[in-house]
Amino acid sequence: MKYTKKLPKTDFQLKQSLLESGWKQIKEPKTLGMSILLSLPLSFLLGGFVLWIAYTLNPLLFSAFTADTFKISFTINLKTLVYLIVIYLYMLIHELVHAFFVPNFFESEKTFFGLNGMFGFVFTTEPMKKNRFLLISVMPFFLLSIVPLFVFNFFGILNWYTLGLCLINATGSCVDFLNMLFVGFQVKNNSTIINNGFETYYHFIK
Q: What is the pTM of this model?
A: 0.87
Considering all CA atoms of the chain, what is the largest pairwise distance in Å, rounded to the nearest integer?
Answer: 67
* Each residue's pLDDT expressed in tens, for the chain with a length of 206 residues: 787 777 778 889 999 999 999 999 999 998 888 999 999 999 999 999 999 999 999 999 988 676 555 555 556 667 778 888 898 899 889 989 998 998 887 788 888 887 766 677 888 888 999 999 999 999 999 999 999 999 999 999 999 999 999 999 999 999 999 999 999 999 999 999 999 988 999 998 76
Helix (H, G, I), strand (E, B) or coil at 82: helix
Identify the pLDDT of residue 195: 92
Q: Where are the alpha helices (DSSP H) in the chain?
A: 12-20, 32-38, 40-57, 78-100, 130-141, 147-154, 160-172, 174-186
Residues 6+ apart with CB under 8 A from 195: 8, 123, 124, 125, 201
> How big is the CA angle at 145 (ends 191 and 121), to the nearest 5 degrees?
60
Q: What is the predicted pLDDT for the residue at 180?
A: 95
